[in-house]
Chain A
């Protein structure tokens, strides 16, 4: 029976093909907008996560100031600073493995006669070899206790200065001479592109030259790996407790931030989910307009087919059967709109990916969009279908 009613519904849609297609177009645009927006948010999420994959699951980063609020879009929390004392204290904690720190800041870098302000990171030698993996394009990474050496980002070596800087040349940072021993691999864009324009030097050298760090014990960041088999969350809790004690602040006045992979993942997820919800919400308005189009088409169709409804009742169709016919019609409009919307979404998703905007259509989004468009169709057609089913048979037969 349902198969026959579906066949009958399809036939009815075909006979009003222009109107059916125009109604379907409304749903296509709605689904297209939603899926595209959600796919951009999903793609962005995937992209950010892939870029942050350098941040391993067993790594904890400690930064000064309360960053948590800023990442979630709020205000900065209490400012603070990290010191060598913090580093030494954390080193002693249980579960802390390899540990390193940085001193960072903007510095004047001179090569031949040209001086440019660049960001310098003074790092412990193990930081970018044992904790994070820095891709060296040519040369090598600095060794422990090595001084007066620099690893420069790809762009610095290639294009920042008028002349290219090869391995072995000397550069002057804040009046101190450094030998270039390594050049970073081209990052390929994205979040890590910043590494292409950074100068890496030993932390001890940075202490002498980076403005604001001379003559004190201040550090920019502390990074560590937890020992194997240790839960990063447990170590994070220990660090927090220790730093709160050292800084003499309470939890709610915390002046530092500990960042783990889980924390980053959560923050990225929050941001991209909010973005997806926002973009999807805007796009949902177009689907709502599309559903109003379905309801309008169904109301019009029922008005035109009043006599036909009377005939169907006279030959024995129940109210339920008549309702089913119209619900199937509106559901098909929604479903076809959903399928076509998905096809166009896929094409647009590929196009915008080509243009460099990350985009990804997940299978669950596809299934969800199809189910949603069908439901939108059925819901939009419900009231018209119910009205059709309730029509009086005799009155309908008299309708001209």
Chain B
């Protein structure tokens, strides 16, 4: 049986291999949780091209967050293969996956996931610490990143001193700390008011258009889809539908 994307692209006449232009590629990925055998992903094949802005939509429990986690090497598929820039990551060890995440991925979460006991500067600098960048250098860069998201005056503020929108902008700055190629965001506007949500989305848009980042955003928000080149709809662990905005993209 042809996969969702292959069906859309006209069948599986040839065995597809991970091409160098696919920044992320999942091949027939299944994620089955051992407790109760719940199939969060059920044979998903999807590619994300370099510098693409992809939206993943779907109801709660449809598997969109699991898909994002597997794309970001935070989770492993039960079956199937994952390729990042042509490299098969589904067979890598824990530390190698950590290396891929550190070098290639930047995560933004709905719950912000900032370390509450670190100020904004240190939160942003954390990924650089694990990359082995010197303290002075990483603090300079963290400062620049916070300035770039409009938080230059809040570098010493702790998460509990920041608004939701500010926290999310700190999280975005952190995601960019090691200058990753891919930004993965899981419901980044889910906890924000409409004004803050708009500001955050503008940052994503800028990252995609100005900085050439490959952006994958999981969201419920319909209007977000307008920013992306492609929207992927998830249902019951499968891709149920694709939509492509003509004329969008770079």
Contacts and interface: CB of A to CB of B under 8 A. Distances in A.
Contact of B94 (A7, A308, A319): A319
A314 B74 contact: yes
A312 B98 CA distance: 10
Most buried by B among A7, A11, A12, A316: A316
9 contacts: A5-B129, A11-B117, A311-B114, A311-B126, A315-B101, A315-B130, A316-B101, A317-B102, A320-B95
Contacts of A397: 74, 109, 113
A307 B109 CA distance: 12
Nearest to A7: B135
A15 B72 CA distance: 31
Given A319-B94, A321-B130, A394-B69, A314 B135 contact: no
B131 interface: yes
Contacts of A314: 72, 74, 101, 107, 113
B177 interface: yes
Contacts of B126: 311-312, 315
A397 B94 CA distance: 17
Contacts of A307: 113
B135 A315 contact: no
A316 B99 contact: yes
Contacts of A11: 117-118
Contact of A316 (B69, B75, B127): B127
A40 B46 CA distance: 73
B109 A1 contact: no
A178 interface: no
A320 B98 CA distance: 10
B178 interface: yes
Given A393-B74, A393-B75, A394-B74, A316 B130 contact: yes
Most buried by B among A8, A11, A15: A8
B174 interface: yes
Nearest to B123: A311
B115 interface: yes
Contacts of A312: 126, 130
Given A307-B113, A315-B107, A316-B99, 16 more contacts: A4-B129, A15-B117, A311-B114, A312-B126, A314-B113, A315-B102, A315-B174, A316-B98, A316-B105, A316-B131, A318-B130, A319-B98, A320-B95, A393-B75, A397-B74, A397-B113
Interface of B: 69, 72, 74-75, 94-95, 98-99, 101-103, 105, 107, 109, 113-115, 117-118, 126-127, 129-132, 135, 174, 177-178
Nearest to B104: A316
A324 to B, nearest CB: 11
A313 interface: yes
Contacts of B178: 316
B129 to A, nearest CB: 5
A318 B98 contact: yes
Contacts of A310: 113
B74 A318 contact: no
Nearest to B133: A4
A394 B94 CA distance: 13
Nearest to A393: B74
B176 to A, nearest CB: 11
B66 to A, nearest CB: 8
Interface string A289-323: 00000000000000000011011111111111100
Most buried by B among A4, A7, A313, A397: A4
B99 A318 contact: yes
Contact of A318 (B75, B95, B105, B129): B95
The 6 closest A-B pairs by CB, nearest first: A316-B102, A315-B127, A318-B98, A318-B95, A317-B130, A316-B101
Most buried by A among B69, B94, B131, B178: B94
Nearest to B122: A11
A394 B107 CA distance: 12
Contacts of B72: 314
A258 B115 CA distance: 74
A8 B115 CA distance: 12
Given A8-B129, A316-B103, A316-B178, A311 B113 contact: yes
Nearest to B180: A316
A115 B118 CA distance: 85
A393 to B, nearest CB: 5
Interface string A92-136: 000000000000000000000000000000000000000000000
A11 B174 CA distance: 19
